[in-house]
Chains A and B, each alone.
Chain A
Amino acid sequence: MIAFDYARVDTVDAAREAQRDRPEARFIAGGTNLLDLMKVDVERPRHVIDISALPLRTVEEADDGGLRIGALVTNADVAAHPLIRSRYPVLSRALLSGATGQLRNKATTAGNLLQRTRCYFFYDTASACNKRQPGSGCDAIGGFNRIMAVLGTSDHCIASHPSDMAVAMRVLDATVETVDSAGGTRTRTLEQLYRLPGNTPHLDNQLEPGELITAVRLPAPLHGRHLYRKVRDRASYAFALVSVGGVVSVQSGRIASAAFAFGGVGAMPWRNREMEAHLIGQTPSAALFAEAADILLADARGHGANDFKIPLLRRTLIACLTELTEGA
């Protein structure tokens, strides 16, 4: 780990001031991802602003019937929160399926959103990686790429986004609130927060330098059955090969609403609204579910060792659709 200047702040204003002072500074909160990457020299910040003491650790009910989750609420506290468990079970389930008890106690809501890929080549400084070292190439393409993405990739990067939490938040139409170093505030959907790799895979998201996430807002709860299904190599403490988060309601035998997002398969937490629209108003059937999978996977592309994710995602989606509509 290279040496860095360090400042610990206890207000958002002080964080902004520190950031204006040293514009290339990185924020550190739980540290479970950034510190890990600093130890292996993948992240080499010269200035670190410790925001872990900021007063952003509360979950509040909002006027619109939703919730406002402070940026520093831990993954454990979000998963265990009574209102999340009862109103947004897909989010509790996604969080509980990720990492370990120790990591969930430290990792924060905003940090989870901004965590970086677990691509082996991104972590290995001896490998070519356009995300870590722009222009160096991609050893995952044509290499061992079992965990990589099949949707939203480019010729420059096929890394998958690792978060479970963000998948559930995409299902729930969560938005992200930020403040920049000049004090301006912004709200983005997750689709607006993340960016696809294209020819700039070193940029994971659309945040401006110094922009700080302050909260994540969940709109009023989605009615219907909630489900998060994660397929992975171990029963616990493993990233998703494929995951499906879904909320479906069925009325009078027809699908009234459907929201889905997918993990382990996309360059960002993935959502396909065309697939959802195809389901609405229809009677659940195996044929309908197969059509939905066709729409989802129309542009999917494997790279050899991860080809299996395409049929695995198809089967997992169909299993989830079946569970979410059966007997409803």
Chain B
Amino acid sequence: MEWIEADTTATVSLWINGEPHSLSIDPRVTLLDALREHLHLTGTKKGCDHGQCGACTVLVNGRRINSCLSLAMAHQGDQVLTIEGVGSPASLHPLQAAFVEHDGFQCGYCTPGQICSAIGMLGEVRDGWPSHVTDDLDHAAGLDGHEVRERMSGNICRCSAYPNIVRAILSCADTDTGELA
């Protein structure tokens, strides 16, 4: 056990979008700031910085989290997937294509978080996790608009593109989008 003294930096090594990275950072640096300010992966957005808006959502070891509420130091050895690793303009992830097709955004600021969150959420559904609106805890069934709204309540869209976000996600509900997560 070693203490990293205040106001000094230390190294954390983690995997971002399949690539190994080592960062020398102050222990205060959040995973969000490590991505944006240190690795210049600015696809992940800072909205509220308090876990309320979901713009900073990334996948860590396959599960969606708010990267703003996590110290980067705590992610030693973890696998982080950001929007840059989800797809590219030449090769859109099915959810990205669906957001385009269904007009699931206006300003687009929340969209990377919405897409990463939706990838994680579809994985949770595949794993049979129930939600607050699931009737039978023992037999979590399929996805509908009601379920999507509940499960995506951690992602705020200030343009209020919600109806089309729900349509875009539902259009992918039967597609296997789990390979990247």
B124 & A101 in contact (Cβ 8 Å cutoff): yes
Report B-chain residues with C-beta under 8 Å of the C-beta of A131.
Answer: none
Interface size class of B (residues with CB under 8 A): 35 or more
Q: CA–CA, A35 to B129, complex, Å?
A: 27
A32 & B1 in contact (Cβ 8 Å cutoff): no
B153 & A237 in contact (Cβ 8 Å cutoff): yes
B66 & A102 in contact (Cβ 8 Å cutoff): yes
B1 & A17 in contact (Cβ 8 Å cutoff): yes
A294 beta carbon closer than 8 Å to chain B? no
B158 beta carbon closer than 8 Å to chain A? no
B6 & A3 in contact (Cβ 8 Å cutoff): yes
B153 & A35 in contact (Cβ 8 Å cutoff): no
Known contacts A52-B74, A105-B65, A5 near B57 by CB under 8 Å: no
Q: CA–CA, A288 to B27, complex, Å?
A: 57
Most chain B beta-carbon contacts within 10 A, residue among A4, A14, A46? A4
A85 & B4 in contact (Cβ 8 Å cutoff): no
Report A-chain residues with C-beta under 8 Å of the C-beta of B151.
Answer: 101
Of the candidates B65, B124, B128, B153, the one whose C-beta lies within 8 Å of that of A236 is B153
Q: CA–CA, A105 to B70, complex, Å?
A: 12
Report B-chain residues with C-beta under 8 Å of the C-beta of A3.
Answer: 6-7, 26, 28
From B15-23, B46-54, B85-93, give the one contacting chain A: B46-54
B84 beta carbon closer than 8 Å to chain A? no
**Measured between C-beta atoms, what is the minimum distance from B68 to chain A in Å?**
9
B37 beta carbon closer than 8 Å to chain A? no
B130 & A32 in contact (Cβ 8 Å cutoff): no
Of the candidates B7, B70, B138, the one whose C-beta lies within 8 Å of that of A31 is B70
B150 & A236 in contact (Cβ 8 Å cutoff): yes
B50 & A93 in contact (Cβ 8 Å cutoff): no
A130 beta carbon closer than 8 Å to chain B? no
Of the candidates B54, B74, B131, the one whose C-beta lies within 8 Å of that of A50 is B74
A145 beta carbon closer than 8 Å to chain B? no
B130 & A85 in contact (Cβ 8 Å cutoff): yes
B154 & A103 in contact (Cβ 8 Å cutoff): yes
Q: CA–CA, A32 to B151, complex, Å?
A: 18
Of the candidates A5, A47, A80, A102, the one whose C-beta lies within 8 Å of that of B51 is A102
A48 & B27 in contact (Cβ 8 Å cutoff): yes
Report A-chain residues with C-beta under 8 Å of the C-beta of B69.
Answer: 30-32, 35-36, 103, 106
**Measured between C-beta atoms, what is the minimum distance from B15 to chain A in Å?**
16
B71 & A28 in contact (Cβ 8 Å cutoff): yes
Report A-chain residues with C-beta under 8 Å of the C-beta of B137.
Answer: 85-86, 89, 92-93
Most chain B beta-carbon contacts within 10 A, residue among A5, A14, A53? A5
B121 beta carbon closer than 8 Å to chain A? yes
**Chain A, Cβ-Cβ closest to B12:** A8
A102 & B154 in contact (Cβ 8 Å cutoff): yes
B5 beta carbon closer than 8 Å to chain A? yes
Total contacting residues, chain A, CB less than 8 A: 46
B63 beta carbon closer than 8 Å to chain A? yes
Q: CA–CA, A17 to B1, complex, Å?
A: 8
Q: CA–CA, A32 to B30, complex, Å?
A: 12
- A9-41, CB < 8 A from B: 9, 14, 17-18, 21-22, 28, 30-32, 35-36, 39
A96 & B70 in contact (Cβ 8 Å cutoff): no
B167 beta carbon closer than 8 Å to chain A? no
**Chain B, Cβ-Cβ closest to A96:** B132
- B133-165, CB < 8 A from A: 134, 137-138, 149-154
**Measured between C-beta atoms, what is the minimum distance from A250 to chain B in Å?**
21
- B115-130, CB < 8 A from A: 117, 120-121, 124, 127-130
B70 & A106 in contact (Cβ 8 Å cutoff): yes
A76 beta carbon closer than 8 Å to chain B? yes
**Measured between C-beta atoms, what is the minimum distance from A183 to chain B in Å?**
16
**Measured between C-beta atoms, what is the minimum distance from B82 to chain A in Å?**
14
Report B-chain residues with C-beta under 8 Å of the C-beta of A125.
Answer: none
Of the candidates B6, B49, B153, the one whose C-beta lies within 8 Å of that of A5 is B6
Q: Which 4 A-B pairs have the closest CB atoms?
A: A100-B154, A6-B27, A236-B153, A3-B6
CB pairs A–B below 8 angstroms (29 shown):
A1-B28, A3-B6, A3-B26, A5-B4, A7-B3, A8-B73, A8-B74, A8-B76, A9-B1, A28-B74, A31-B69, A31-B71, A36-B51, A36-B69, A39-B50, A85-B138, A86-B138, A92-B130, A93-B132, A96-B131, A97-B132, A100-B153, A100-B154, A101-B153, A102-B57, A102-B154, A106-B65, A235-B149, A235-B150
B residues neighboring A (CB under 8 Å):
1-7, 10, 26-28, 30, 49-51, 54, 57, 63-66, 69-71, 73-74, 76, 117, 120-121, 124, 127-132, 134, 137-138, 149-154
